[in-house]
Amino acid sequence: MTAHTLFRLDGRTAAIVGSGSGIGEAVAAGAAELGAHVACLDIDPTAATRTATRIRLAGGSSESGSLDIRTAGDVSIAFERLASSRGRLDIVVCTPGVNVRKPLLSYTDDDFDRVVSLNLKGSFNVLRAAGRIMTGQRGGSIIVFSSIRSQVVEPGQSVYAATKAGIVQMVRTAAAEFGAAGVRVNAVAPGVVETPLTAPITANADWYNAYAAKSVFGRWAAAAEMVGPTLFLASDAASYVTGSVLFADGGWTAADGRFNPPGM
């Protein structure tokens, strides 16, 4: 391993869950550019196929499939088939998430179940299925998406924030349990990223601009800006990094307020 190859993923098999759009799509394309064979998995098989086709047209190696991470058996089957056909499963990235923005007192049982079943249970299903394969093969990297909402909240974010905080603790526990087998487990915590999930916000100029102002850069992130942090954690450049949360939030959680005191 040299500095020139630290970030390369040549010969590795990566399952990118949620690769039909947004961050997952960008990460899938980036992993392929770095040499990985990428399995594009998404609840929307047409979207997954579109991403896989784009990768192949660019000269990369890919396949696609339908996957709903809320169903544990389907996650296990998808990962086991991929590991069997490719010889091993080196990288798993899990990006899907959903948010129901409502005051806590207005939340229904169905709202709660919808957010928890995808964000928390789905991430658990991915961690468990990938962990079984990777601990058996004695190596691999799992990256699950958390959020700044694991640390800071606002009205309407109660259950979403709870799931994103829960993901952090599951990632830390998985890192502790899988580490002896050489498996690394980490989380990426984005700030505000322009994706289909945030479309209701980007459509509202006041809301959009208020969130942009929370970043020290004064802007939102593009989905492509999550590729570097994610694939760093997937690569040998992060060979001694596990149980961590990489905040890619434009300084949102670092800066307290936006007033510059006199003389600053």
Does the active-site annotation cover 160? yes
Per-residue DSSP letters for 119-138?
IIIIHHHHHHHHHHHHHHHT
Give CA–CA dist 107/93, Å, rounded: 30
Lookup result for tokens 């098999």: 13
Sequence-distant (≥ 6) Cβ neighbours of residue 108 within 8 angstroms: none
Catalytic residue among 160, 208, 211, 240: 160
CA distance 65 to 51: 11
| Distance between CA atoms of residues 11 and 88, nearest Å | 10
Name the β-bridge partners of 144: 94, 187
Token code pair at residue 259: 């007033």
Residue 156's alpha-carbon distances to 111, 118, 123, 164, 195, in angstroms, are 12, 18, 22, 14, 19
Instruction: Point out the residues that are catalytic.
Output: 160
